[in-house]
Amino acid sequence: GSQWMVKSKVISELQEACWEMMSSMASDIILLLDSDNDGIRTHAIKFVEGLIVTLSPRTADSDVPKRHESDISLERIPRDHPVIKHSVLWEEGKAALEQLLKFMVHPAISSINLTAALGSLATIARQRPMFMAEVIQAYETLHANLPPTLAKSQVSSVRKNLKLHLLSVLRHPSSGDFQPQITTLLVDLGTAQAEIARSMPSPRDGRKRPRDEPDAALKKMKIEPPLGEDDEDKDLEAPAVAVAKVAGAAAVPSDTDITAEFLQPLLTPENVANLVLISMVYLPEAMPASFQATYTPVESAGTEAQIKHLARLMATQMTAAGLGPGVEQTKLLREEPKEEKVAKPDGVLVIKRRLSALGQGQAIAVLGAQGSPGGLLDETPQAKRRPEPIMPATQPRLAGAGGRKKVFRLSEVLKPLSEVQVEKLKLGAVRRILRSERAVAASGAAQARVKILASLVTQFEVPLKGEVLSFILDDVRGRLDLAFAWLFQEYNAHLARGGPGGLERYDECLIGLLAGLQEKPDQKDGIFTKVVLEAPLITESALEVIRKYCEDESRTYLGMSTLRDLIFKRPSRQFQYLHVLLDLSSHEKDKVRQQALLFIKRMYEKEQLREYVEKFALNYLQLLVHPNPPSVLFGADKDTEVAAPWTEETIKQCLYLYLALLPHNHKLIHELASVYTEAIADIKRTVLRVIEQPIRGMGMNSPELLLLVENCPKGAETLVTRCLHSLTDKVPPSPELVKRVRDLYHKRLPDVRFLIPVLNGLEKKEVIQALPKLIKLNPIVVKEVFNRLLGTQHGDGTSAVSPLNPGELLIALHNIDSSKCDMKSIIKATNLCFAERNVYTSEVLAVVMQQLMEQSPLLLLMRTVIQALTMYPRLGGFVMNILSRLIMKQVWKYPKVWEGFIKCCQRTKPQSFQVILQLPPPQLAAVFDKCPELREPLLSHVRALTPHQQAHIPLSTMAILEATTRHEPEGTPGEVR
C-alpha cells in the first residue's frame, strides 16, 4: 500500500480511503495480540514484526534478506508526501515495537507465542540495528523472568531458541556494543566459548559502521527501553522521547544500564550472602519446573564478568518493578529538561524536540487521568500483564500540570442493568455456550466445556436450568456426559450445604431428566436405566417417576429391570425399591402385574430378599379376614376398613402375589387354609376359583399339600376338596394321596365328597360301598362321579383305569339296598349311565341284563330292560329271551319286577305276545286286569296262528282269553283301571 502511494504523483480520494482502511486494519491486527486464540496471536506477532521493519528506516548495516530487498521501508517515503506523514509512521513503528515488547513480558504468555516473539525480535535486530539495544534488553529480561506457566520441556525449547537467536544477533556487524551482554547470556544458556567465538562478527564487518553519514543520524533514532517504566511512563512512550544518535556518539544509557552500574560495586560477598539468606524465606516448597530446567551451575562465580552479569540481571528485575536509580534518573530527566547540557551545536535541535515531546507526553498523561478512552486502552493491558506491583510515579508530573488527578471509578461510567436485561443477557450467554457444542468438540475442549456448564447450571435459577435440560433431552445419548456432570454437581452442592434438607435442586434435576426420558418415544437403549443406576441418590420423587415408568405398558419391562438392578446394586435401600415392585404385583393392568410377578419370583429365590417378599404376600393375604376391604387396597396409606364390599377384583388383589409364590414355597398353603376358614362366603368362592393353577403347580406329591389333606382344618373342607379336584383332574391320584384321603374320610370327616377326586385310586368294594352316598349328591356332582368312574371326564376315554368297568357300575347301581338310597336317585344314576352311549353299547347292556337275571334274589330293573330296548331296538330278541327266563323265575313273586315286566310286555307288543302266552292262567288274568287293552290284540294273534301252533296253547290259557271276551258286556268298572 505504501509503495503504491509513494509511486503515485497525484493521490486520488480512492487511494486516500484505501490508506485509511489499511491503517485501520493494521491497528486492528495489533489489537489481536490480545486474542484468546493462540494461533491468531502468533500471526499477529509476525504481522507486528513486518510492520516494525516497514515503519523504520533501512540503514547501511541492515541485514535484509534477498527476497525482501525490494520491500518498501521508511527511508523511501518522501518527507513532503501529501498524505503519508513520515514522522507519524516512524512513531507508529516504534509504538508497534513497544507493543511487542509489552506482549513478551506477560507472565502467562504461551510457549508458541514466546517462540514466535523471540524470532521476530531477532529479525528486527538484524534488519534494524537501531533497535538492537531494546532487543538485547528484552532477551535479558526474559532470561531472568521465564514465564512460570511453562512446562519443563517448553522451558528447554524456549532456552534453545533464545540461544539460537542470540547467536544470530551476535553475528551482526552492529552487535559490537552489546557483545558483553550477549556473551554472558550465551554462557548462561550453556553455549561453548568456541561456538561464541565462531559467531563473533569479523573486524571488517565492524568497520562498516562509521561510514554512516551524519544526515542519516536522525533516521536512526532510538526509543527508550520500555521495561523499566510503570504505567504513567508508558503514556510518555507513545510520542517516545528520541535522542539523536550522532555518528560516533554513544547512546544514552538505559534505565537498566544505570541501575546495573549502581549495583555492581554493592555486590560484595557479604551483601550477596545476606540477599541469599533473606530470599530463602520466600522460596517455594517444591522447585519450579522452569527453574529446574534452566539451572546451570555458575562456572565463573566471583569473577568481574559474573558480578557485572548479576548486576544486570538484578537491574532488569528492578527496572521491571519500577525501582532503582535508572528509573529515578529518567524521571528527573523528564521533570527538569532545562538543566540538560549538550556539548555539540547539533544537539540544540534534539533538546527542542525533547521539550516538545515531553510537553505532549504530559498533556496525554493528564488527559488519560481524566478518563480519556485512549488512556484507558493504554493502561488496561499493561496492568493485566504486570506480574509485580506497579509503582505509580504520577505526582511530580501532575504537580507540574497543576491539577488534582480524578480517581477513576467504574461505577460512575457504567449504568446498572435492569432485571429483565440481566436475565436476557444470562439466557443469551447460556444459549451461546450450549450452541457452541460442535465448535468446542472440534477444538478438543469438550470435557472442559461440560465441567464449566455443569458448574454454571448448578448456580442458575429455574428458567435457565430448564433451558439446559431441554438441550440435554434433544440428544440424550450425545449429551449424557453433560447430564451426569450436572447431576453430580447438584449432588455435590447439596452435600456442601449439609443437613438432611436442601435436596430440592438435585431432586428437580434428576426428575427433570427421568421425566424427560419418559416422554421420549423410544428408549430401548437403556439410557433411562443408566441415569437411574449412575445417579448418586434416588429420591422419593424419582422413585415415583420409576414407578410410573413401570406402569406404562409399553415400558413395563424396562422400568422393572431398572428397579431390579437398583435392588441388587444398592443394598442399603433395596427394600425400599423392592416395596415398589411388590406394590405393582397387584396392579389393575394385567401386563404390569404379570411382569412384576415374574420379577418377584426371581427375587424370591434370593436368600436376602425372600423373607421380605413372603411377609408382604402374607400381609396382603391376611387382609381377606376383614369383613370389608381395607383402604390400603385403594392406595391409601392407613390400614382402615372402607364401607365398600369385597369385589372379585379386590379379593384377587390380595391373592396375586401369594399365589405366584405358592408353587415356590408349599408351606404357604397352610396360611391360605387358616385365612379361608375365617373369610366370608364371597371370598371363599373367589379363592376356590383362582387356586386351581397354583395347586397344579405344587403337584400331588407335595408333602405340604398331603399334610393339609391329612389335617384338613375345620371350615376348610371345601378348599381341600377343590385342591384334590385340581390335582386329579388330568392325572390319576397317587397312592400316597389316596391313602391320606381314605384316612381323612374314615377317621375324621366322613364326607363322601372327599372321595370323589380319588375314586379311581380306591378299591372296587370301596367304590361300591360309597355309591349309595355318592348318587344322593347334587346331580352335577353325581355326573362328575360317573365321568371319573367311566373315564369320560375329558371326552376321550383315556383316563386312568377305573376300579369298576361300566357293566359292573350298572350292576352295582341295581344292587344298591333301597333302604340306603331312594329309588329315584338310583333311577337317575342309571339314566346317567345310559346317557353315555359310547360306553354302554348293546353288548355291554346285554351282558349286564344277563348277569342281573342270574342274581338271586332277582334285582333286575325292568326300566333298564326297557331303556336298553329303546336305545338299541335290535336287542328285541334278546329282551324276549330275558322275559321268557323271568317267567321261569316266577317273576310275579317280585312285585316291583312284575310291574316292570307287564310294562315291558306292553311296550314290546306284538313281539311280547309269544312271551305273555307262556304265563300261567292266573298271571295271565292278572296281566289282563292291569292292561285290559292287551286281550284283543293277543286273541287276534292266537287266532292267526296255524292250527298246529294253536294246539300248543293250553286250554286254560285259551279259556282266560276267550272267557273274558264272552263276559265282556258284563265287565265291571273296576277292571278298567
Q: How far is CA 147 from the centre of its chain?
A: 44
Q: Which of 320, 323, 317 is nearest to 225 (CA)?
A: 320
Cell numbers placing 710: 391329612
How many Cβ atoms are within 10 Å of 947's Cβ, its own excluded?
6
The alpha carbon dihedral of 726, 729, 733, 738 has a sign of: positive
- Residue length of the chain: 977
**Secondary-structure percent of the chain, ordered helix, strand, coil, rounded to 5:** 70, 0, 30
The answer to whether 435 and 470 are in contact (CB under 8 A) is no
User: For the chain, which residues score pLDDT lower than 70?
Assistant: 1-3, 5-10, 203-252, 289-290, 293-294, 296, 299, 336-406, 499-502, 521-525, 635-643, 792-800, 855-861, 963-977
User: Distance between CA 542 and CA 513 in Å, rounded?
Assistant: 10
Angle formed by the axes of helices 876-888 and 842-854, nearest 10°? 0
What residue type is 334 in one-letter code?
R
The answer to whether 326 and 254 are in contact (CB under 8 A) is yes
What residue type is 781 in one-letter code?
V
User: Distance between CA 875 and CA 845 in Å, rounded?
Assistant: 9
Whole-number pLDDT of residue 249: 37
CA distances from 593 to 417, 562, 601, 657, 948 (A): 58, 16, 12, 9, 90
Q: Where are the alpha helices (DSSP H) in 475-525?
A: 480-497, 504-519
Residue indicated by cell numbers 375329558: 794
User: Distance between CA 872 and CA 807 in Å, rounded?
Assistant: 16
Whole-number pLDDT of residue 218: 38
Give the CA count within 13 Å in the CB-facing half-sphere of 783: 7
What residue type is 214 in one-letter code?
P
User: Distance between CA 960 and CA 306 in Å, rounded?
Assistant: 174
> What's the burial of 851, exposed, middle or buried (CB within 10 Å: 0-12/13-18/19+)?
middle
Whole-number pLDDT of residue 500: 61
Residue indicated by cell numbers 446394586: 569
CA angle 937, 943, 948 (to 5 degrees): 135
Residues forming beta bridges with residue 222, ordered by sequence position: 243
Cβ-proximal residues to 180 (8 Å cutoff; 6+ apart), any chain:
305, 308
Cβ-proximal residues to 589 (8 Å cutoff; 6+ apart), any chain:
551, 553
CA distances from 645 to 161, 620, 680, 688 (A): 95, 17, 11, 19
Phi, psi of 630 (to 5 degrees): -70, 155
Q: Which of 103, 61, 334 is nearest to 211 (CA)?
A: 61
* 554 DSSP 8-state letter: T
Cell numbers placing 631: 383402604
Cis peptide bond upstream of 910, omega within 30: yes
CA distances from 226 to 97, 382, 398, 406, 693 (A): 10, 11, 21, 26, 98
Give the CA count within 13 Å in the CB-facing half-sphere of 840: 27
Q: Where are the alpha helices (DSSP H) in 214-268?
A: 231-237, 255-263
Q: Which of 666, 658, 644 is nearest to 687 (CA)?
A: 658
Cell numbers placing 512: 427433570
CA distances from 133 to 175, 296, 325, 387, 458 (A): 9, 26, 19, 23, 54
Cell numbers placing 414: 457504567
Helix (H, G, I), strand (E, B) or coil at 285: coil
The answer to whether 708 and 723 are in contact (CB under 8 A) is yes
The answer to whether 848 and 841 are in contact (CB under 8 A) is no
User: Distance between CA 173 and CA 206 in Å, rounded?
Assistant: 5
Cβ-proximal residues to 620 (8 Å cutoff; 6+ apart), any chain:
586, 653, 654, 655, 657, 658
Cell numbers placing 186: 550465551
What residue type is 69 in one-letter code?
E
Cell numbers placing 759: 375314586
User: Distance between CA 313 and CA 885 in Å, rounded?
Assistant: 151
CA distances from 796 to 645, 730, 799, 843, 968 (A): 43, 12, 8, 20, 59
Q: Where are the alpha helices (DSSP H) in 281-418?
A: 289-294, 304-320, 325-335, 347-369, 373-385, 395-401, 410-413
How many Cβ atoms are within 10 Å of 21's Cβ, its own excluded?
11
The answer to whether 233 and 379 are in contact (CB under 8 A) is no
Whole-number pLDDT of residue 361: 38
User: Distance between CA 900 and CA 835 in Å, rounded?
Assistant: 21
Whole-number pLDDT of residue 187: 86
Residue indicated by cell numbers 364326607: 751
Helix (H, G, I), strand (E, B) or coil at 222: strand
Residue indicated by cell numbers 355318592: 774
Query: What does pTM read for this prediction?
Result: 0.47
